[in-house]
Structure 1
Amino acid sequence: MRSRSLTLLPAVLAVALAVPALSPASAAGGGGYALPGFAAQAAARTDYTIGIDPQAKGAPIDHTMYGVFFEDINRAADGGLYAELVQNRSFEYDPADNAGYTPLTGWAPTGGTLDVVDDDARLNERNRRHLKLGLPAGIINAGYNSGINVERDEKYDFSAWARTDQAAGTPLTVGLTDPAGKELAPGLKIQVRGDGWTKYTGTFRARESSTTGRLLVSGGGAGTLRLDMVSLMPRDTYKGHGLREDLAEKIAALKPGFVRFPGGCLVNTGSHYGYDASTGYERKRSYQWKDTIGPIEERATSANFWGYNQSYGLGYYEYFQFAEDIGAMPLPVVPALVTGCGQNRATDDPALLQRHIQDTLDLIEFANGPADSTWGRKRAEMGHPAPFGLTHLGVGNEENLPDAFFANFTRFRAAIEARYPDITVVGNSGPDDTGDTFDRLWQLNRDAGVEMVDEHYYNSPSWFLENNDRYDSYDRNGPKVFLGEYASQDNRFANALAEAAFMTGLERNADVVKLASYAPLLSNEDYVQWRPDMIWFDNDASWGSASYEVQKLFMNNVGDHVVKSTASGTPWNPQPITGAIGLSSWATSVAYDDVKVTAADGRELFADDFSGDASRWTGNGTGDWGVVDGAYVQADTGVTNPLVTAGDPTWSDFTFSVKATKRSGGEGFLIPFAVNGGGNPFWWNLGGWNNTRSAVDGGNSSRVFHSDDTTIETGRTYDLRVEVRGRTVKLFIDGRKWAEFADDTNRAPEPFRQVVTRDQKTGELILKVVNAQANAARTKVDLGAGTWVLPAAEATVLEGLPDDVNTEFTQPVKARKTQVRVSSGFTHTFPPHSVTFLRLKDKRR
């Protein structure tokens, strides 16, 4: 398809990654960024080591490890992967789907009388509306985006269902034009005959190209002409199966192991409401697979969760067929009748629940049943006598009511396993990576012995860098993980790098993480409900994001099993914890005495026994502080955090001791330390939360370092001591160590990640290295004694600037291949901001 310029997409949901761009001056000084395709010698370097034990076979990696998740969001189906070029072809658009819709949305009259009707003359029960024209009359359709894409010399198939009340028939003229009326292809002349619905067809061969084409349909003569299902399809679709070629080819190029479909939030939302009692028709309802099969003109339409109408031209048969066409495992998801995606509702209709359970059993028969079974016959009638080979099926999506969901899930699972014991029924863990819902659903899945659990999360790039080890601690004997939806929150190269670093952890834990799919897959640039997205498109072009390039690199180089490897971390030169000291309280009257600060060598830095005044202390203007009987007293039990501070903000390696007495109130003591004005101090909160527990937290991340149920007694004096050495802190109560921690909150997430897998067929080790930082990574790679590899290794490299974004007009993030000299022990410099895959071939193969 033809390319044209594109305005850069705004950085919605952008989260900055800690990889600052270097100025030209710093580049000239040896700390700059190496441009893609050039050596990285100009960049500052950090040294690493990677040790590989080629004989240490790790977890096997299933060929289905990575896949794609398709949801009809961002116009991914109609106006996207589904190749139909006419918008609202059956006049079913409705304000119930979108407040701005009418039955003629997408259409414009060219004369005569037009009326969309729902009467006894309808095409069929599910295709309820049609267009009634008082002749002569005509209509024109501009498709999606700026118009219909027409390419010179390509063929386009027109079809429409029509009927006329004229005994002699009605002439129908069909044309392809540009907005000015210029003919793009020779017109079609069709004679409509009879007052019964008949399908009429014709083919255009385009003489001219245009991205702003229009389909013009005109009826001549007199009387009434009725039209429905007005369609224009490109002759060339992916493998002839009705899908837009460039989009399908980009998905196929990923070589996905599975296709999860049809969603997402649109699967389970609205599954038991929206019923129109006046018509007996559900306009808003969950995605129900039986609505989406059979002849196109007999399929239902409904509101899409994402705010528009969906035609179901891309239905369950087409999903199964597409998965087969690209060699992927089909993985459908069915509604559990518990709403998720920000809604909290569960069905209380047992008959409705049972119908959906039966529908799911029928779905499995549709996919796998013999051609003479009830639903297998319907599959065969659609053109696929052989079974599709369904093995996995998800029930539900991101439910917020864990117990209600799991009660329904249990019924689905029992029914499926009773009839189809070989089907893996996939549970889920809610809409986030942590929290009460996540914990409860994992407990329920684990206790019930569910085979696989679907996790979803969308987080910052820093989160993905920090959570490379997320699955290291998962139970190896518990349910396996299907990471059905994940992405970092933007489409910059920095996001793709963070995702790549995270994916090395997925592969390392391939014994736990069995399936993973970035989400969402597709977005039409003019209909965006969600971003980031993997593949972007308009009516005539498509382009992969930086994340697409990362996903493609991993999916095309998976390997058969993990090989044991270790890597050094990025050196960190931590600065010591520094700061002054403080005293405070929370809705409590307290007395402090005998404050002392000493250096690590025993030198006294500060002391105050309050035998005089408190002039060495500075307050924040709240509280009732004063010296009373040789102690510093805060008397107001209604104030929160009346902080007073003293000392030098540059203190480090010090010991801070104080005697503290609770006089009255609901809580205990607040002991701030490392108060330096450059961030949050550390807080030792003793008797907090209404004197139910105690904690120490703080630093720039407000991280909790220790927490327990220590409470504070009124009238009792406590000896408190804080020892700070470097970035390690010890806390003592009455001479007993209460807690110890090492603060690494100022440490950036680890930017250097790697994993090694083996390709059994080629005998190659695949070394996968992510360097998500501004420094080049000079790395010594040791394959161990007795390992011999060919001296030339193929390297596939993605590199760029953190803010690089692929667009239709320019794609700065693109894989390049090169040759690298290797041996059993070699040094290679991985460029800044890069993903590199090295294929090391065994010399003996």
Structure 2
Amino acid sequence: MPRLRTRLAGVTAALAALPLAVAPPAAAAATPDYTITVNPAAQGATIDDAMYGVFFEDINWAADGGLYAELVRNRSFEFQAADNRTYTGLTAWTPVAAASGAGTATTVGDAERLNERNRTYLQLGLTNPAGGAYGVTNAGYNSGFALRKGDTYDFSIWARTDAAAGTKLAVSLHLADGTQLATPIRINVKNNTWTRYAGRLRATTTSDAGRLSVLAEGTGTVRLDEVSLFPKTYKNRPNGLRVDLAEKIAALRPGFVRFPGGCLVNTGSHYAYDEASNFPRARSYQWKDTVGPVETRATNANFWGYNQTYGLGYFEYFQFSEDIGAAPLPVVPAMVTGCGQNRATNDPALLQRHIQDTLDLIEFANGPVTSTWGKLRAQMGHPKPFGLTMVGVGNEENLPEEYWAAFTQFHAAIKAKYPNITVISNSGPDDTGVTFDNLWAKNKAFGTEMVDEHYYNSPSWFLKNNARYDAYDRTGPEVFLGEYASQDAKFFNSLSEAAYMTGLERNADVVKMASYAPLLANIDNVQWRPDMIWFDNDESWGSTSYQMQKLFMNNVGDRVIPSKATGGSILQPQPITGRVGLSTWATAARYDDLQVTGTDGTVLFSDDFSDGNADGWSTLSNRGTWAVQDGAYVQTDAAATNTMVAAATNITATDYDITLKATKTAGAEGFLIPFGIKDSNSWYWWNLGGWNNTQGAVEKATGSADAKEQLLTRPDTVVTGQTYNLKIEVRGTKVTLIRDGEVWGGFDDNQVPEPFAHVVTRDNRAGEVIVKVVNAQDSAALTRIDLGGLKVARTARMTVLAGDPGEQNTRSAEPIQPVTSTVNGIGSTFTREFPANSVTFLRIKTTR
């Protein structure tokens, strides 16, 4: 082939004649900000299937008008002024007439009532002319009844009439102006015996402002009770749950459901009935009130300021838990109140009755159909046992000795009859402090199986405490983190919670279960923030923390793979500096002789108010009534909360003493002494006689006055009229608190936030390694990941939550949503850049 060779030679000569082109050197690889090193050969903690769950409490109108699908508010006319001073038996109802109808509508509580547990019913005295009708209209919850065109709604009512020929009821759904939203139905009440009547209405129009009217024709007396309207329910359960809310909870794939509270459990009277009236009223939550036919269940005043119908009761809780594949975890009252009430029963017989109620509860859940309570469960539609395995006794009790005396009796009785039931104790309402330490010591010595911890703290606290459980005793009780949340609803709060959750998973051998709280909030009726899922009468939306919880709960894994992270800048703790202040909470008080001195005796600030004015002091809250009186600075509004005022002088010294005199003159609590004030949202304060004059604490606000963390707590009381000499010694980050010459407490605020956190778990069933990385800072984090020689696929499924840390998900927009994609370049060692303010889950398939 001589011709081909000649051509190749020519090409070679031509190339040789060209200028030499040298390839540029490869760009140097960027230095990673962090390195995550995984040790797949080491044995990490096993993660229980029930690691993450949900906590339901009827707070924020979460049950009636929320998860419980009933559309009629005050369906049994049980609202009473004794429960809430704004209530009457006709709350949510309005008397109405049609076609010149006439009559009277009154709520009555006499011997003619439907049953003993229903205190009142509606009595209509009819004086209608021919063709007229008279009755009542119900406005429902929020803006009214939410109806969707084409859907059917199940109506029922209990009624009786003294009219010999019976009484016809016209039932309709309409707008406030009378525009019909469904084809009306007619019901013929036949006699003077309480009878349940039912019908079905089909919506002809979609609306969120519907009304339900029940109008009676003719004359005579008609009695009505248990007026009910149900939409389609979750899994079509009778007396069931609102579909969209139940589906959002189910989508979390929770391992357990803790119910029914919360403060709801251990507040109110311990007695079953109000002795004066023999009616159930304002008592602690008792499960037996909530089972059986709904018309026989009691209603009760809710601790959170509204009524509960108990239509959503223990049977429904158990059924819902089963429907979503979660373990039920009921909490029973320990006969010691909490949540600011702080009382304990001294009636042994009453305590034993409640212990027996708990044994009966276990029988209701697990007993055979031949047992008393198992038979009731079967009659309610569930012959098969629910498989209850654990019970919580008490909730956030602030009286540790009284609680412990009761708990041990509950524990002994339960274990004697049901030895396989896990009996869960608790450690009080805080993450630290005297009560916390006391109860943990008791639980360890006793050998309690599991202890319930609760805390709500600032984002900074969560970022500082990722290692909280690293040092917990591995041979002591396991931890159930039954309630926790960062105190706001912004994405940064969710990022801080996510960073903390990596620590929960890393310590899954100690922290066996955890649940964010609260779960639900009605947008128009809120008692607590933050909350996971928000709703009105026809819409619901998940907060940024809902999206974060869902990401973790759907990507748990079976076992932790030990790993460590290195890199990043090391922050240093900052000394406590800033202005000093004064404040009160639902209390009137007088303050005098305030002085700040350096450790060398130099006076940095002083005001004895002897000149009759408070020049240089300014309000940070615009609350309260402050004035100089008789040579002291006095706050006289005993109802105002957080009345903080601050001195103008900024204390820049790092070591100093604050001294002052304080006297409570009236009100519910004690003193608040702010220091280290940066602005109205960043400060410390010494809280004496807080929580209705039962507890003391040091609280720290970081970026929000509503997002406080407690640095220490202890029981504390302030006596009205007594003058206290108070001293706060600040030494850098260390603070000692002295009252009347005796050390009251102290702390060292030397922890710093850790914005980068991670955990690695293995999902054996999926054959995947899950790398979870939280980057809670405003810059991206280039990270080298070394999987320790694991053979893995070259691609991975990546889910990211990212966005503005100040963003929120609301009814109008839900900007924080997960984004899932497939990424390349995965190997035993690889590098990824994790976005600023993000959480990233990488699911990587292992190949051996």
Match status 1:49 vs 2:22: no
Distance 1:181 1:448, change over 3 A: same
- Counterpart amino acid of 2:75? R
Structure 2 counterpart of 1:148, which letter?
Answer: F
Q: Show the 5 A alignment for 1:287-686.
A: 287-572=285-570, 620=604, 680-683=652-655
Indicate the residue corresponding to 1:63 in structure 2. 49
Q: CA RMSD in A?
A: 3.1
Amino acid at match of 1:99: R
Match of 2:813 in 1: 810
8 Å contact kept, 1:273–1:284: no
- Aligned counterpart in structure 2 of residue 120 of structure 1, from 105, 111, 118: 111
Aligned to 1:240: 237
1:621 and 1:444, CA in 2 relative to 1: closer, same or farther beyond 3 A? closer
Q: 2:215 aligns with which of 200, 218, 222?
A: 218
Kept after mapping to 2: 8 A contact 1:155/1:236: no
Instruction: Report the counterpart of residue 207 of structure 1 in structure 2.
Output: 204
Counterpart of 2:623 in structure 1 is none
Amino acid of the residue matched to residue 277 of structure 2?
A: T
Corresponding residue for residue 751 of structure 1 = 755
- Structure 2 match to 1:603: none
Following the alignment from structure 2 to structure 1, what is the Cα–Cα distance between the partners of residues 562 and 436? 31
Aligned partners of 1:154 and 1:377: how far apart in 2? Answer: 35
Displacement of 1:203 in angstroms is 0.3
* Structure 2 SS opposite 1:184: coil
Query: 2:117·2:279 contact (CA, 8 Å) conserved in 1?
Result: no
The alpha carbon displacement at 1:620 in A equals: 4.4
1:271–1:335: 8 Å Cα contact kept in structure 2?
no
C-alpha displacement of 1:576: 11
Secondary structure, aligned partner of 1:324: helix
Measured at CA, do residues 336 and 620 of structure 1 come closer, stay the same or move farther in structure 2, by a change above 3 Å? Answer: closer
Kindly indicate whether residue 136 of structure 2 is the aligned counterpart of residue 139 of structure 1: yes
Q: CA deviation at 1:237?
A: 3.4
- 1:798 is the counterpart of 2:801: yes
| Per-residue deviation, 1:508 | 0.4
SS in 1 for 2:283: coil
- C-alpha displacement of 1:788: 1.4
Distance 1:587 1:552, change over 3 A: closer
- Superposition deviation, residue 618 in structure 1: 7.5
* d(CA) in 2 for partners of 1:275, 1:182: 44
Note if 1:77 corresponds to 2:63. yes
Do the aligned residues in 2 keep the contact of 1:465 with 1:749 (CA within 8 Å)? Answer: yes
SS in 2 for 1:183: coil
Among 81, 93, 102, the residue aligned to 1:95: 81
Cα contact 2:447–2:477 (8 A) shared by 1: yes
**2:157 aligned with 1:185, yes or no?**
no
Aligned equivalents of 1:317, 1:510: Cα separation in 2: 31
SS at match of 1:497: helix
> Does the CA contact (< 8 Å) of 1:338 and 1:399 recur in 2?
yes
**Partner residue in 1 for 2:739:** none
User: What's the offset of the Cα at 1:681?
Assistant: 2.8
CA distance in 2 between counterparts of 1:268 and 1:197 reads 36
Distance 1:413 1:728 in 2: 42
Counterpart selection for 1:166 from 163, 183, 186? 163
Counterpart residue number, 1:613: none
CA distance in 2, matches of 1:561, 1:203: 51
Conservation of the 8 A alpha-carbon contact between 2:597 and 2:603: no
Which amino acid is the alignment partner of residue 774 of structure 2? V
**Aligned-residue offset at 1:85:** 0.1
Aligned amino acid, residue 424 of structure 1: T
Q: Distance in 2 between matches of 1:558 and 1:271?
A: 41
**Kindly tell me: are residues 440 and 156 of structure 1, through their superposed partners in 2, closer, same or farther at Cα, counting changes over 3 Å?**
same
Which residue is equivalent to 1:667?
A: none
- For the structure 1 residues 192 and 793, does the alpha-carbon distance in structure 2 shift closer, same or farther, using more than 3 Å as the test? same
Is the Cα contact below 8 Å between 2:797 and 2:842 reproduced in 1?
A: yes
SS at match of 1:305: coil
- Gaps of at least 5 residues in structure 2 are 1-29, 98-102, 129-133, 578-593, 608-648, 658-674, 686-697, 699-730, 735-747
CA 1:728–1:161: 2 relative to 1, 3 Å:
closer
Q: Say which of 760, 768, 772 aligns to 1:764.
A: 768
Partner of 1:784: 788
Amino acid at match of 2:403: F
What TM-score, normalized by structure 2, do the two folds share? 0.76
C-alpha contact 1:126 1:298 (8 A) present in aligned 2: yes
Aligned amino acid, residue 168 of structure 1: A
1:198/1:45 Cα in 2 relative to 1: closer, same or farther (>3 Å)?
Answer: farther
| Cα shift readout 1:425-462 (whole Å, capped 9, x = no counterpart) | 00001111111111111111111111100000001010
Going from structure 1 to structure 2, the CA distance change for 1:590 and 1:97 (only over 3 Å counts) comes to: closer
Decide whether the 8 Å contact of 1:85 with 1:143 is kept in 2.
yes
CA distance in 1, matches of 2:676, 2:162: 80
CA contact (8 A) 1:45 1:777 kept: no
Give the deviation of 1:240 after TM superposition: 2.5
Is the Cα–Cα contact under 8 Å of residues 59 and 561 in structure 1 kept in the other structure? yes
Structure 1 residues 283 and 842, CA gap change in structure 2 (3 angstroms): same
Task: Specify which of 268, 277, 280 is matched with residue 279 of structure 1.
Answer: 277
SS state at 1:163 partner: strand
Q: Using the alignment, how far apart are the partners of 2:575 and 2:232 within structure 1?
A: 69
What does residue 823 of structure 1 align with?
Answer: 827
Separation of aligned partners in 2, 1:131 and 1:255? 43
The answer to whether the 8 Å contact 2:334/2:393 transfers is yes
Task: Judge conservation of contact 1:569–1:752 (CA < 8 Å) in 2.
Answer: no
| From 153, 156, 159, the counterpart of 2:153 | 156
Q: What SS does the aligned partner of 2:105 have?
A: strand
* Residues 681/552 of structure 1: CA separation in 2 closer, same or farther (3 Å cut): same
Residue pair 2:69, 2:233 contacting (<8 A) in 1 also: no
Answer yes or no: is the 8 Å Cα contact 2:453–2:481 preserved in 1.
yes
CA distances 1:271-318 after superposition (whole Å, capped 9, x unpaired): 425953332223110110000000010001111111111000000000
Residue 569 and residue 453 in structure 1: after superposition, are their counterparts in 2 closer, same or farther (change >3 A)?
Answer: farther
Aligned AA for 1:189?
Answer: R
SS at match of 2:219: coil
Instruction: Specify the alignment match of 2:5 in structure 1.
Output: none
The 5-angstrom pairing of residues 679-698 of structure 1 reads 680-683=652-655
CA displacement at 1:140 relative to structure 2: 0.3
- Change in CA separation of 1:590 and 1:96 when aligned onto 2, cut-off 3 Å: closer
Residue 126 of structure 2 is aligned to residue 129 of structure 1: no
- TM normalised by structure 1 equals 0.76
Matched to 2:187, the amino acid is I
- Mapped contact 2:280–2:298 kept (Cα < 8 A): no
Separation of aligned partners in 2, 1:96 and 1:792 = 64
Q: Which amino acid aligns with 2:800?
A: V
Q: Distance in 1 between matches of 2:571 and 2:535?
A: 45
